[in-house]
Structure 1
């Protein structure tokens, strides 16, 4: 029985959302039974009669009527503190995030040789850098495969951006270059998978492709079981952190990098803390903020926290393995990115029954129902963030109501639906 070969390409495997999404996809498809998955002749590349893996994840062109299981290979530049047990890995060290012409050319050559040798049925690229190099290498290699291997078809090229970089990241000139590169590679991409409808709308707005049929929305899947029925007691986790049971705990879980907007949360936290000052008529319970995640901004943010007199009010915990327990020990989840494809951490928070305060950018409104599972504010709106947090701090019943609605909504983002 001949296997269907699927090659995934991503820059790095770390704790970030795109890497976790890719790992879950590879593992999930690897467990799917192949028997009965027939791939009929399509007659033309990506024709409507082509086989679709369940829920139209991939649309496969002519494959000669083969039936078989999936052979999954994951190509990456590095593996950073994540479990890749049981995954068939190919490491290409030159595949890295930064711009390095020599490394990038070497990476392109290695990808080209790998694809030409392996002759995959599908090449699924993830994120912008690996997405560009992987798709160009596949296009070049597929031409060689077509001419050298009689009867072998072109691989289907799939691309998941995992959020775009068209605002909030770079200046206008660099951004425009990236948009032009995305438009170029989209011409020979068969499917572009968006995490949310909001992300898809942005890609269409920026003219990445005029072919609406190229785009498909598949939510980033979360292992929801990990966040259900957390065993450790809320009180115990708070004691470990030195936080009183009577405190209102606001947690943010994301990388400490500029695009994630921590500076806005810190400035909003100062205004929230100001409402606890005597004479304001707005005395409340003790409020603590928890920042979970690593990144290069930690030192700078800690200096800002101290300057604003918030030392002891905001805790930086770094990378953690006990995210479900930390969420369960918290009362409100806050995130203020300038750009976000979907926000896996938001879904995790909702799965733990937390109301969400977030900025209304890109795909977040597709995840958080404003006024139902949380409160959305404009990007960079410090007063809006502060007021939204204060609304939830003052109203425990509203927190509980939104948390329960969020728990229900999180079920829409399970890993089974993604795979």
Structure 2
């Protein structure tokens, strides 16, 4: 008797690397044959088949037609017990490709890692993505959200026949992300060539417009006259990296700002730091903040649906208005200059971050998977 198959779909392999390995393992351990479809190379011992699809992010790309045809052929040729799709455009194509499969009994679940339409989003985002997502609820069995703003909106406007869920993110490994002992912090700073006496601010984010790195750079320029010795670590890669490096140089901030590049051991950088910052214009949740908070860092972040899901202002972090340069600089300086407040927020941050532990997310998500697998009554 052959194993039942499941299919995970996301636009790029990095999405699976970053978020989905525990879930792929859960299916494998539960006796399923696991398939994934994405652009790029992906290797995982729990995955039997990787389908290479040339997904594009832009909703206007003509290559979507080819991806749609490829994906439909894959879904029609495999009798999947469940399909789990992620990322906007890949999920649009998956749901269109799986219309026939759903009619035959394959449950189709979409996990929204943050809708492109949200309070404060551009008219373009609302006009482009909102009507499509609402329409697609009518051919989706379940929508899973990671923040309450997305959840409240889509369940109100979407199909009443679709089931809606909100889960505590996609999970962070608290065994990997944890506060260092004082001697470990000193050792890490030595290994990373960071002065042991510096106050270290970290922002781990892709270098794209949405992450708004320039705001933190401008705040750094203001803070260099107030703070004696500090370092800003910018970790990540992206299309704007060269442009941001040039901007830092033009501001004369090469001493204060350091580019760590794309790192696979980001926990070491968090554990060597004193505070985490996010100047992002919008986040579905903000996993980088959760990781840093687990390592004992007080967070300073923009007011946003995702950040607001994680941070209670003044309790386990500080929230400031979008693009408010002075508020950002003031928040960083306050935490820098007040050891007692920094320690208090850090302790609360660790406690809050525990909610988003992978064990909690995995439990919530696998309960949903199990619910829909039970509905799949086809013979294996």
Give the TM-score band, short-chain normalised: 0.7 to 0.9
Shift in CA distance, 229/362, structure 1 to aligned 2, threshold 3 Å: closer
CA distance in 1: counterparts of 2:139 and 2:306, whole angstroms: 25
Alignment of 1:344-383 (within 5 A): 344-383=287-326
Aligned twin of 1:384? 327
Alignment of 1:228-267 (within 5 A): 228=178, 233-267=184-218
- Residue 138 of structure 1 deviates from its aligned partner by 0.5
* Secondary structure class of the residue paired with 2:176: helix
Correspondent of 1:223 among 173, 192, 198: 173
TM-score, normalised with respect to structure 2:
0.87
Correspondent of 1:343 among 267, 272, 286: 286
Aligned twin of 2:96? 136
Q: Does 1:410 align with 2:353?
A: yes
Correspondent of 1:322 among 243, 265, 268: 265
Aligned twin of 1:333? 276
Aligned twin of 1:10? 10
CA distance in 1: counterparts of 2:44 and 2:187, whole angstroms: 31
Contact 2:174 2:354 in 1 (8 A): yes
Alignment of 1:85-100 (within 5 A): 85-99=45-59
Q: Does 1:75 align with 2:26?
A: no
CA distance in 1: counterparts of 2:187 and 2:241, whole angstroms: 26
- Alpha-carbon RMSD across the aligned residues, in angstroms, is 2.5
Structure 2 portions without partners, runs of 5+: 363-380
CA distance in 2: counterparts of 1:418 and 1:194, whole angstroms: 12
- Residue 141 of structure 1 deviates from its aligned partner by 4.0
- Residue 100 of structure 1 deviates from its aligned partner by 6.6
Shift in CA distance, 86/26, structure 1 to aligned 2, threshold 3 Å: closer
Contact 2:10 2:86 in 1 (8 A): yes
Shift in CA distance, 196/224, structure 1 to aligned 2, threshold 3 Å: same
Aligned twin of 1:296? 239
Kindly provide the CA deviation profile for residues 122-143 of structure 1, in whole angstroms up to 9, marking residues without a partner as x. 1111010111000100014444
- Residue 228 of structure 1 deviates from its aligned partner by 2.9
CA distance in 2: counterparts of 1:238 and 1:71, whole angstroms: 44
Aligned twin of 1:127? 87
Correspondent of 2:112 among 161, 166, 171: 161
Correspondent of 2:220 among 258, 263, 269: 269
Kindly provide the CA deviation profile for residues 343-393 of structure 1, in whole angstroms up to 9, marking residues without a partner as x. 111111011000000112122111112111110111221111111111101
- Residue 169 of structure 1 deviates from its aligned partner by 11
More helix by share: 2
Alignment of 1:205-224 (within 5 A): 207=157, 209=158, 211=160, 214-218=163-167, 219-224=169-174
- Residue 229 of structure 1 deviates from its aligned partner by 6.2
* Secondary structure class of the residue paired with 2:18: helix
CA distance in 1: counterparts of 2:148 and 2:91, whole angstroms: 20
* Secondary structure class of the residue paired with 1:178: helix
- Residue 233 of structure 1 deviates from its aligned partner by 2.5
TM-score, normalised with respect to structure 1:
0.79
CA distance in 1: counterparts of 2:65 and 2:149, whole angstroms: 33
Contact 1:255 1:295 in 2 (8 A): yes
CA distance in 2: counterparts of 1:114 and 1:94, whole angstroms: 14
Kindly provide the CA deviation profile for residues 164-193 of structure 1, in whole angstroms up to 9, marking residues without a partner as x. 112699853464122222122111111111
Structure 1 portions without partners, runs of 5+: 35-68, 147-153, 276-283
Correspondent of 1:22 among 20, 23, 29: 20
Contact 1:251 1:332 in 2 (8 A): yes
- Residue 3 of structure 1 deviates from its aligned partner by 4.4
CA distance in 1: counterparts of 2:120 and 2:8, whole angstroms: 25
Q: Kindly tell me the number of residue pairs found equivalent between the two proteins.
A: 360
CA distance in 2: counterparts of 1:263 and 1:363, whole angstroms: 20
The structure with the largest alpha-carbon Rg is 1
